[in-house]
A = this chain, B = another copy of it.
Amino acid sequence: MTKPSTRLHVATDLAGGLSIGLDPSQAHYLKAVLRLGSGDPVALFNGRDGEWLGRIDGVGKGWCSVRLQERLRPQMEEGDLWLAFAPIKRARIDFLVEKATELGISELRPVYTERTIVERVNLDRLRANAVEAAEQTERLTVPALREPEPLVRLLASWPAERRLLLCDESGTSPPIAEALRTAPPGPWAVLTGPEGGFTETELDALKKLPFVCAVSLGPRVLRADTAALAALAAFQALVGDWQAKRQR
């Protein structure tokens, strides 16, 4: 059976025979952008019930319903990897969330550091970016997106068993490949700073924490968004889920 080229994330439960109403923007996208109509196939996922093949059984201005036929893939968990990141300016934070989703992050945690300039994080927009990236990249889940919080509070409630990979731009930490060669098993997170980097005080405090593993990302100065995604790619390649075969 041919796999539909269109994949959409929905909130509702999915099961065979159900007719699922899409939201107005999804309906518009299918009808006006992709020019799909009754009988055309669409794949749906909700992060819980796997991926389903459905067919459009009704479409109009601002609405579209999809009848579910069969399950294409059972639900699978994404790897457990968090990204804690200082919010950065608009285009770059959108990009960061998109790429982190493609690179398999399970939870996004915006965190205010001393040099963070951005004061407000538009969680709705970031969530929409994460959903779109999950649709594109054939994930079966959308990363969780937490409320922003100050770095101090993040660290105060940090789960002791989760290691935190600190992207240290000072150049004094060991290269990421060297540091991860002896990486202990268990859950991890990656932490990246804002445009101006972490302060020395922050770096000193972070490096004293038992769960922190500080690493360098090479000889060049990387922008904040580049550092985040480069660290994620290197982590996945070295000790993450890039060892696994493609899901489909």
Q: Which A residues lie at the B interface, using CB under 8 A?
A: 95, 99, 102-104, 136-139, 170-171, 175-178, 216-223, 226, 229-234, 236-238, 240-247
Contact = CB atoms under 8 A, between A and B. Distances in A.
Residue from the set A136, A138, A246 with the largest chain B CB neighbour count within 10 Å: A246
A102 B223 contact: yes
A218 B232 CA distance: 12
18 contacts: A102-B226, A104-B219, A137-B220, A137-B221, A137-B222, A137-B223, A138-B220, A138-B221, A175-B237, A176-B237, A177-B242, A217-B237, A218-B240, A219-B242, A229-B230, A233-B234, A234-B234, A237-B238
A114 B183 CA distance: 42
A217 B220 CA distance: 23
Contacts of A219: 104, 241-242, 244-247
Contacts of A136: 221, 223
A210 B143 CA distance: 40
Residue from the set A136, A229, A236, A247 with the largest chain B CB neighbour count within 10 Å: A236
